[in-house]
A and B are shown apart, each in its own frame.
Chain A
Amino acid sequence: MTLSLVRVDDRLIHGQVIAVWLRALGADVIVVADDETAEDEFLKDVLILAAPSGVEVEVYTVDEAAPRITELAASSQRTFVLVRSPISVLRMVEQGVPIPLLNIGGMGAASNRSKLYRNISASTSEIDAMHALERLGTKVEIRIVADDSAVSFSSVAPPATNSNGV
């Protein structure tokens, strides 16, 4: 079974993910792959509380998450993967995690990010990471809620700058 959803979302587990995506696709396990969250007990507890009962939440650093997600992708468990940046996804794909489709759902404005599409913003290194993902065979699409039609990254992307060598 492939992963049900691999999503970039600044807010990781929150109402939109639970009310919209979980309802639409269903999940047995949500893996949060985020270095900062994995090292902060309070944040970790907030995320675990945010998931409805019956859904397991596992929080790892990105590097710890890679082998676990590969294992889940081969299992019968319906799995959501949530990360904060496409750079983390690229790191996982480079470690062999099978991610055929990446959902870009929440990348808010920040000082190092500029607008990519509607309320989705990305930094130059995030743009480069998404280009690299597409070259490696991961389809990158922007879709905030399940009812939106998917907008392919390639149709809105500025060219790669290779600013960070990815």
Chain B
Amino acid sequence: MKILVAGHGALPEALVSSARMIGGELPGVASIGLFPGDTPQDLRDRMLQLLADFPADLILTDLAGGTPDNVASLVAKGGQVASIRLIVAGASLPLLLEFALSGTGIEELDSDDVISETGAIVRFRAPVD
């Protein structure tokens, strides 16, 4: 499975680099960031260029409704990149690792399960006095 992480600023690259600390090399993972001054078209053009060499099945975006998420959705809906099977907004370290380390193709995974199993959880709550 090839995964592209798309998001704001340095976050995608940092997320991938942190995932590699835990999961090893992760050759099937790449990242793309939107930086101040980039227009949505700039990001689209760079994303299309990247996807031409790296045909991702899955795009994880950092924020639903943010520009990287919107551009990825439009690129997928535009049909120019046949490899894209799924876009999921809300990229996080557990979500990325779960997909990247699954060892199977995107079609064999129940992506809704992966998403629900990697959500945020409360680990401590101060007692109410």
Contact = CB atoms under 8 A, between A and B. Distances in A.
B119 interface: no
Contacts of B71: 46
A14 B67 contact: yes
Given A15-B66, A49-B74, A42 B41 contact: yes
B41 A50 contact: no
Size category of the binding interface on chain A: 10 to 19
Given A42-B40, A43-B40, A50 B67 contact: yes
B70 A50 contact: yes
Contact of B65 (A43, A45, A50, A108): A50
B6 to A, nearest CB: 14
A104 to B, nearest CB: 18
B29 to A, nearest CB: 25
A49 B41 CA distance: 15
B103 interface: no
B65 A49 contact: yes
B70 A49 contact: yes
A71 to B, nearest CB: 28
Classify chain B: how many residues form its interface, as a range.
Answer: 10 to 19
Contact of B37 (A18, A42, A108): A108
B74 A42 contact: yes
Contact of B73 (A18, A43, A49, A108): A49
A23 to B, nearest CB: 13
Contacts of B66: 15, 50
Interface in A43-102: 43, 45-46, 49-52
B63 interface: yes
B44 A42 contact: yes
Contacts of B40: 42-43, 46
A19 B76 CA distance: 25
Interface of A: 14-15, 18, 42-43, 45-46, 49-52, 108
